[in-house]
Amino acid sequence: DTGVSQDPRHKITKRGQNVTFRCDPISEHNRLYWYRQTLGQGPEFLTYFQNEAQLEKSRLLSDRFSAERPKGSFSTLEIQRTEQGDSAMYLCASSRGTGSTGELFFGEGSRLTVL
């Protein structure tokens, strides 16, 4: 069990640029989640996948955000035309999904700073 890994850990970009984050879940987990966390707040749900299917998207996920999990393994979260308000920690988590008790295993996050 190598845990959930996220890359990059830190990203600094200029407003208007595109950024992409990658998440590698625990290998036997079929569910993968993306959350956003800003300073002093709890994680806010963005979206989740069951295998390669994206099952739910939050209203927080504007048209500039897109997430994929093409082969049901790793996932990417892309933010286009970044804005200063996108600065946050982006957390990825995975779980066994159906049949489990819903426990999520989190990565250490990817911190985005938009200048």
Partner 1 sequence: AQSVTQLGSHVSVSEGALVLLRCNYSSSVPPYLFWYVQYPNQGLQLLLKYTSAATLVKGINGFEAEFKKSETSFHLTKPSAHMSDAAEYFCAVTVNNNDMRFGAGTRLTVKP
For residue 62, the one-letter residue type is S
Nearest to 105 by CA among 37, 44, 23: 23
Binders of partner 1 in range 92-111 (CB under 8 A): 93, 97-98, 100-109
42 binds partner 1 (CB under 8 A): yes
Distances (CA, A) of 79 to 27, 68, 114: 25, 12, 11
Q: Which is nearer to partner 1, 67 or 109 (CB)?
A: 109
- Cα angle for residues 55, 87, 64 (degrees, 5° grid): 45
- 20 half-sphere exposure, CB direction, 13 A CA radius: 8
Among the listed residues 43, 75, 77, 112, the single contact to partner 1 using CB under 8 A: 43
Give least dist CB 16 to partner 1, A: 28
Gap between the Cα atoms of 39 and 52, Å rounded: 31
Residue 56 in contact with partner 1, rule: CB under 8 A: yes
- Paired with 21 in beta bridges are 77
Please select the residue that binds partner 1; options are 1, 27, 40, 63, rule is CB under 8 A: 40
Q: Interface mask (CB under 8 A) for partner 1, residues 69-88, using x and -? A: --------------------
**What does the binding site for partner 1 look like in residue numbers (CB under 8 A)?**
4, 33, 35, 40-45, 48, 56, 91, 93, 97-98, 100-109
